[in-house]
Amino acid sequence: MALKIHNPEFAHPSEAEFAHILDFYGVEWDYEPTSFPTQWDGDRVTEMFTPDFYLPQLDLYIELTTLKQSLVTRKNRKLRRLRELNPDINIRLLYRRDFHRLLAKYGFGPLANSETPVIDRVLIGTSQIAIRTAELGREISKDYRHKKPVLVGVLRGVFCFMADLMRQITVPMSVDFMSISHYGNEDSAVKITKDLDMELESRHVLMVEDIVDTGMTLNYLLDYLRAKNPASLEVCTLLDKRARRLTDNTLKYVGFEIADEFVVGYGLDYMEEYRNLPFIGILKPDEGDAANRAQNKSPK
């Protein structure tokens, strides 16, 4: 896909970073393309709302609010008004913490600046994972009877889930893996770093994911797999951070819907660590650590 050359003057560094992430995943964007009037005095427009980004492929506006809470309240009011006046508009607000969590998975932001991130709590325990995985396995076995599905996993986060899930599937199946580059490495666009070994033409393909977050990775992979002309293509994900979804791909099988927290364990990593935890836990910056360093910072 040809990407436009973008050189807008961003109002905030977080906007430039967000634009980089979109570029990486090949999601087209426009910066502040439209101003929507939200208030009038007679014929005169007295208030406008200009969302930061428009993503034409997703028909989605994004507003990044890295501001203080007091200003966010005002923005929320404007947003409500915008939605009342344009009921068909598809707009998402990304708050400062949403954005920090988006960065966390690429190793940037507060989590990266904390010397000792800590497991705050267990979100999904080992037996809960096992029970749900067995249920998914039963469902998949029923739906794919006589279909000999190929389960396609994306390395590396999915390997624990894939291993457990496939042992709960009671119909003949095969498995293949691929892997892709991640944002923040030297590549400027997402690419396949390990391709599939199997032919998918006319096969029933079930893509297995550890977690779907914004959906940008999945979107890219589904396009790639669709081009191989499978007989069918569905998605099974252990975790679904639906609150953060930007794309609208259908997830046929979902283990758990989770809130917008950064999670690790059971194959999921932060900077390649924590994959070996037998449960899924929430990773937080060590507050004490962050506070200590802030205090110790000597003025220049």
Residues designated as active site: 213
Q: Is 183 in the site for ligand IMP (CB under 6 A)?
A: no
Indicate the Cα dihedral angle 198, 169, 212, 223, nearest 10°.
30
**Cα–Cα dist 163/175, whole Å:** 10
User: Of ligand IMP, Mg ion, none, which one does residue 105 interact with (CB within 5 to 8 Å by kind)?
Assistant: ligand IMP
Nearer to ligand IMP by Cβ, of 150 and 211: the residue is: 211
User: Of ligand IMP, Mg ion, none, which one does residue 23 interact with (CB within 5 to 8 Å by kind)?
Assistant: none
**Cα–Cα dist 300/298, whole Å:** 6
Least distance (Å) between residue 215 CB and Mg ion:
12
Least distance (Å) between residue 106 CB and ligand IMP:
8
Q: Interaction with ligand IMP in 196-215: which residues (CB under 6 A)?
A: 210-215
Residue 180 CA from chain centroid, whole number:
15
Distances (CA, A) of 134 to 76, 131, 141, 230, 251: 42, 5, 10, 26, 18
| Site mask for ligand IMP (CB under 6 A), range 149-168, x = bound | --------x-----------
Nearer to Mg ion by Cβ, of 19 and 238: the residue is: 238
Question: 287-290: which pairs have CB atoms within 8 A and are 24 or more residues apart?
Answer: 289/114, 289/115, 289/116, 290/110, 290/113, 290/114
**Cα–Cα dist 172/191, whole Å:** 31
Q: What are phi and psi of 114, to 5 degrees?
A: -85, 130
Q: Interaction with Mg ion in 17-36: which residues (CB under 5 A)?
A: none
Q: Is 157 in the site for Mg ion (CB under 5 A)?
A: yes
Q: Is 268 in the site for ligand IMP (CB under 6 A)?
A: yes
Structure-block tokens of residue 12: 């905030």
In this structure, what DSSP letter does residue 54 have? E
User: Of ligand IMP, Mg ion, none, which one does residue 82 interact with (CB within 5 to 8 Å by kind)?
Assistant: none
Q: Is 23 in the site for ligand IMP (CB under 6 A)?
A: no
Q: Is 153 in the site for Mg ion (CB under 5 A)?
A: no
Nearer to ligand IMP by Cβ, of 210 and 234: the residue is: 210
Name the residue number minimizing CB distance to Mg ion. 157
User: Of Mg ion, ligand IMP, none, which one does residue 152 interact with (CB within 5 to 8 Å by kind)?
Assistant: none
Q: What angle do CA 63, 17, 283 make, to 5 degrees?
A: 90
Positions in the binding site for ligand IMP (CB under 6 A): 105, 157, 210-218, 262-264, 268
